[in-house]
């Protein structure tokens, strides 16, 4: 049948059918796009959840205090070795604390119960850092002192773990020793809370 043979009602219905087919063809890509977005959001959420529970390893490690220190103002120490050399010189536990700013378990160090007269040295470079005369029992599980030896340690602000603390490290090699707090005894009112693995002890000869 030719177009000229169509009745007026048939001619009027044709544009409507054409419009419906056009709308259907444009709606299909839009529906596919919406479905794709939903699948993407679901996969992203699932991946984030997997990271949160440890099923997928994190690609970016948390910022550490030593990262902030090196980024802000790199320090230069009298005793300095490559990371590989430090690993050779230190035990795994000493390396974790002195070079990675780790923390030992409380009450795990024999130096917490060391009460003899003598001197505590940095386990990284053997610099004398604390005297037994300033050691006290802080009941925290870590060797504690109310002051270091002169020119033995340095400090910097540590903002790791959502806290602001004062980190203490060896003045000569930069090895992490612990943190200092303002809840110690007189005469300084300070508590130098140190890791036992970061130090060695030599008793004073009788």
Q: Which of 125, 170, 173, 193 is flagged as catalytic?
A: 193
- Residue 193 catalytic? yes
Ranges of beta strands (E only) in 111-164 are: 118-122, 128-131, 135-136, 144-145, 153-158
CA distance linking residue 176 with residue 155, whole number of Å: 10
Q: Which residue in 88, 127, 107 sits closest to 195, CA to CA?
A: 107
CA distance linking residue 153 with residue 171, whole number of Å: 4
CA distance linking residue 130 with residue 113, whole number of Å: 15
Please identify every residue annotated as catalytic.
193
């Amino acid at each position: 049948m030719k177009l000229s043979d169509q009745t007026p009602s048939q001619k009027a219905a044709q544009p409507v059918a054409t419009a419906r087919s056009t709308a259907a063809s444009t709606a299909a890509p839009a529906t596919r796009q919406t479905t794709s977005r939903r699948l993407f959001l679901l996969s992203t959420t699932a991946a984030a959840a997997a990271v949160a529970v440890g099923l997928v390893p994190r690609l970016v490690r948390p910022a550490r205090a030593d990262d902030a220190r090196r980024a802000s103002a790199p320090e230069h120490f009298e005793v300095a070795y490559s990371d590989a050399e430090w690993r050779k010189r230190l035990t795994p536990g000493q390396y974790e604390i002195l070079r990675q700013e780790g923390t030992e378990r409380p009450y795990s160090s024999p130096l917490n119960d060391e009460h003899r007269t003598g001197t505590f040295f940095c386990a990284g470079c053997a610099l004398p850092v604390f005297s037994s005369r300033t050691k006290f029992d802080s009941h925290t599980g870590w060797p504690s002192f109310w002051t270091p030896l002169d020119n033995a340690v340095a400090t910097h602000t540590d903002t790791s773990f959502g806290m602001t603390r004062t980190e203490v490290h060896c003045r000569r090699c930069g090895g992490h020793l612990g943190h200092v707090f303002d809840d110690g005894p007189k005469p300084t009112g300070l508590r130098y809370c140190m890791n036992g693995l970061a130090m060695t002890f030599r008793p004073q000869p009788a």
